[in-house]
Amino acid sequence: MLRMIDEFRGRFADAGMELVAPEVVQTLSEDELVREAPTFDGWIAGDDPASERVLTAAVAGRLRALVKWGVGVDNVDFAAARKLGLKVAHTPGVFGREVADVAMNYVGGLARQTFLIDREIRLNNAWPKPSGISLADKTVALVGFGDIGRQTARRLLAAEMKVVVYDPVAESAGDLPVELATWPQRLGEADFLVFTCPLNASTRGMFNAALLPQLRQGVRVVNVGRGPVIETAALVEALRSGLVHSAALDVFEDEPLPADSPLRTFDRCIFGSHNASNTEDAVRRVSEKAIDILFEFLAAD
């Protein structure tokens, strides 16, 4: 939204409001927010740490409404917001198709090593021809079956893959021919392990060292959910041993990916920049929705 911010200034001006956008790539710090948030009536938050400390300071000032832009809500203390009487909401179910597109791109990229081939040609003047694996008839362990997970399943099924779904709140598969399983049962069947789940107490660190003996040799790992779902040390161990063939990660435990991260040493891996949802169409759609909610909150006062 920040990069398209000028598109929305007219809506705020028409509503008699001033729109202020910080000069930041991804997030402001807690200290910055404690200082700045109390000076605003409304806040559209991205991945900023909207902690109890921040919200307490903000409500003590002018803040009356907060809208979390996007799907993930792990950075916003909703319980604290409600306790403080702050109007709060988010925009669920808005990025399923876009994130699923990237997840499918990663699955294909790991299967055929297309990203590695591109790098070798560009950087080393090479002409590599690695043998890939076909997607048809391969098994995917898909973790998360919300909007993103369901959209990802549709794409995997279109590639004639078998999909086993893990989601404790999914009572049925609906119209999709997938199989529901209980984590971590049947992981040994999976050629691909794809995470599309949110971050919460049950998903944090669910890929860990204790899980490794249950994985199939040569499994490929994709994460378009949240970085802390995968413990980096466990993934590095699995990549070094060859248990995990390769990984495609749009998100990491520490973002941006540190320059000295051992993950950088694995050439067959694909790295993103927490950008799977970022298309002009989706950003425009979600931004308009967030603005609508914010205006409703402020108008109700």
Catalytic one of 64, 245, 268, 274: 274
Is 274 among the catalytic positions?
Answer: yes
The question of whether 90 is a catalytic residue gets the answer no
What are 271's strand-pairing partners?
Answer: 249
- Catalytic, 226? Answer yes
Distance from the Cα of residue 286 to its chain's centroid:
15
Three-class SS state of 132: coil
Q: Which of 52, 160, 179, 255 is catalytic?
A: 255
State both tokens at 113: 């090593």
Q: Determine phi and psi for 119, rounding to 5 degrees.
A: -65, -40
Report helix, strand or coil for 151: helix
Neighbouring residues of 72: CB distance < 8 A, sequence distance ≥ 6 = 47, 198, 199, 226
Q: Helices marked H in the chain — which ranges? A: 9-14, 30-36, 52-60, 78-83, 96-112, 114-124, 147-158, 232-241, 280-299
115 vs 250: CA distance, rounded Å: 14
The one catalytic residue in 150, 216, 226, 245 is: 226
- 230: helix, strand or coil: strand
Tell me how far apart the alpha carbons of residues 127 and 200 are, in angstroms, rounded to a whole number: 44
Please list the active-site residues: 226, 255, 274
